[in-house]
Structure 1
Amino acid sequence: MKCLVVDEMHDSLAPMLAAIGWECVYQPKITRAEIIDIIPDYDGLIIRSKTRVDRELVGHANKLKFVGRAGAGIDNLDEAVLKILNIRVLNAPEGNRNAVAEHTVGLALALLNNLTIANEQVRQGVWDREGNRGMELASQTVGLLGYGFMGTAVAKKLTALGCKVLVYDKYKRTTDNGLVSSVEMDQIFEEADIFSIHVPLTPETRNMIDLNYLNQFKKSVVIINTARGEVLQLEGLLEAMKLGKVRSAGLDVLENEKLNNLTENQQMTFSKLIKSSKIILTPHVAGWSLESYKRINEVLAEKIDAEINVNN
């Protein structure tokens, strides 16, 4: 069986697929038109985030058994169409959940301890110890929105560091042996010092966190987003910071990550983001560690073998 890989992947993928009986055809520079032209010849397709998988792309892929998403989010897949065509969706959140968790904790530590501000000041000859007095993460109550693979991994690290962790997940309740508390959002709004986002991008979550949402926090809260940029409205975030409802933010994702192709409003918002010393920005790399790059391949190969090979 043949698997077409249309995005950059760790070079371990081909031998992993070969070991389970699949030929890997690696074409990371392929165009969408070229994929549409040749996809009927393939039994599997592996993508990252640049390729939109819809009826146009796979409508004539009569042999296609699965689409593998090298990562967690599947918002670039038309799941309804794939279900109709009996094409399985395989993703790999197990592959980068630890990387996302470490990055999330790193952003929290950097924000609480003024690391980026202090670094810049010292480089400019300013030695301000009192102005950069930090807060200990262990003293914080952290609210997590979403408790899937990413939220669970973050919670484990935070509880190990001594945080009180409150979790709201509309579709899942947990006790995790008493280490975290599954609560309603009202309690997170009341108690959270830090609020970290770990939900997928869906019609339900798109633009969910706006100014009205942020205004419900009782404390001036730290916001961290390592999920999807479109979940958090950046104009609302900036306004909430101006009002004192949000004291700082760590953003690994943005509403539009194509910085050379921003609308006029998006450019104005981005200009404000980069001027704020209370915001740390990273380029969607939370799950992009050296270790996760390979581990994602391992997870996909394991799932192809367990869920596709056994049925053929």
Structure 2
Amino acid sequence: MKILIADTMHNSLFEMLERYNLDYSYHPEFTRADIIRSISGYEGLIIRSKTSIDAEILSAATKLRFIARAGAGLDLIDLGIVEEKGISLFHAGEGNRDAVAEHTMGMLLGLFNNIVKADREVRSGTWDREGNRGVELMNKTVGIVGFGNNGCATARRMSGFGCRVLAHDKYKTDFGDQWVQEVSMEHIIAQADILSLHIPLTDQTRNLVDHNFIENFARPFYLVNVSRGEIVKLDAVVEGLKSGKILGACLDVLENEKLKTLTVAQQNAFDYLAASDRVVLTPHIAGWTHESYRRINEVLMRQLGDWLATNA
């Protein structure tokens, strides 16, 4: 079995592949055109997020038996065609769940306690204690939307901070436990002080958080998005911050992360967010730790090993 690795990977992956005596070609420099030209010679494809795996690529992948996505999201893969062609699909949803949960907590603590703002002020010679008086997470009601690997890991950490944790998942039921109460989306909208998004990007979730969604919340709330940027309309976040409906925002992802290509409207929204002390921004790194980089490979290879046991 020949496997094409078409993205940059942690070195641990190669050791793991060699344990299974798998023949792989490592080409992190491959462009989309290179993949299309070469894919017919491979039975396996390992990727991260550089290239969309769509009809054009899959039609050229005449021998492809599996795709392994070194990460959690599958929005760049045409799942319908993959299923239609009988291609097995693996992804490492649990590989970065702890990293995402810790990053979520870090962003919120940074926002609530003015850590980013205060650090900037002290470095510039301003010592303002009262202006940086913080807010505690203790006793806040947190609404988690999406209770997969990341949502579950985040719920446990929120619970440890003394929060009341509510969670809604469109595709899961009966998951309530000592850390979280399973509720409807309407329940979260009525009671949450903090909204934390842990859902994939789909046709149903794209632009989910818009002006109407925000205005429907019963009380002013804090917004956290560590899922996909296109789920949240940034102009709606700006409106919410201006009106006071959004008290603050922690955004690890943006609807357009190629900052040199922002439209005029996107640039205006970004400029407002970047200048606001009520916003914490990070460059899509919530699951991006040294530990998760290796763990993702371990999760993928466990799945691939199970598959090889019956399909090799």
> What TM-score does the superposition give when structure 2 sets the normalisation length?
0.97
Show the counterpart of 2:272: 272
Q: What is the distance in 2 between the residues matched to 1:308 and 1:203?
A: 33
Q: What is the distance in 1 between the residues matched to 2:48 and 2:226?
A: 17
Q: What is the distance in 1 between the residues matched to 2:81 and 2:188?
A: 37
The answer on whether the counterparts of 1:3 and 1:44 sit within 8 Å (CA) in structure 2 is yes
The answer on whether the counterparts of 1:14 and 1:23 sit within 8 Å (CA) in structure 2 is no
Show the counterpart of 2:43: 43
Shift of 1:159: 1.0
Q: What is the distance in 2 between the residues matched to 1:187 and 1:38?
A: 50
Runs of 4+ deviating beyond 3 Å: none
Cα gap change, 1:145/1:255 in structure 2, threshold over 3 Å: closer, same or farther? Answer: same
The answer on whether the counterparts of 1:65 and 1:308 sit within 8 Å (CA) in structure 2 is no
Q: What is the distance in 1 between the residues matched to 2:12 and 2:164?
A: 39
**CA offset digits 1:224-267 (Å, max 9, x no partner):** 10000000000001001111000110100000001111122212
Give RMSD over aligned pairs: 1.2
Show the counterpart of 2:218: 218
Show the counterpart of 1:300: 300
Q: What is the distance in 2 between the residues matched to 1:214 and 1:89?
A: 35
Shift of 1:218: 2.0
Instruction: Please state whether the residue corresponding to 1:3 is helix, strand or coil.
Output: strand
Show the counterpart of 2:84: 84
Code of the residue aligned with 2:68 in structure 1: it is: G
Q: What is the distance in 2 between the residues matched to 1:245 and 1:206?
A: 21
Q: How many residues end up aligned between the 2 structures?
A: 312
Code of the residue aligned with 1:306 in structure 2: it is: D
Show the counterpart of 1:70: 70
Unaligned residue ranges in structure 2 (runs of 5+): none
Shift of 1:80: 0.6
**CA offset digits 1:192-241 (Å, max 9, x no partner):** 11110000000000001101101122222110100000000000010011
> Percent sequence identity over matched residues?
47
1:72-221 → structure 2 map (5 Å cutoff): 72-221=72-221
Show the counterpart of 1:28: 28
The answer on whether the counterparts of 2:221 and 2:245 sit within 8 Å (CA) in structure 1 is yes
The answer on whether the counterparts of 2:176 and 2:182 sit within 8 Å (CA) in structure 1 is no
Unaligned residue ranges in structure 1 (runs of 5+): none
Instruction: Please state whether the residue corresponding to 1:189 is helix, strand or coil.
Output: helix
**CA offset digits 1:107-136 (Å, max 9, x no partner):** 111111111111122223222222212122
Instruction: Please state whether the residue corresponding to 2:24 is helix, strand or coil.
Output: strand
1:254-293 → structure 2 map (5 Å cutoff): 254-293=254-293
> What TM-score does the superposition give when structure 1 sets the normalisation length?
0.97
Code of the residue aligned with 1:86 in structure 2: it is: G
Instruction: Please state whether the residue corresponding to 1:177 is helix, strand or coil.
Output: coil
Shift of 1:52: 0.8
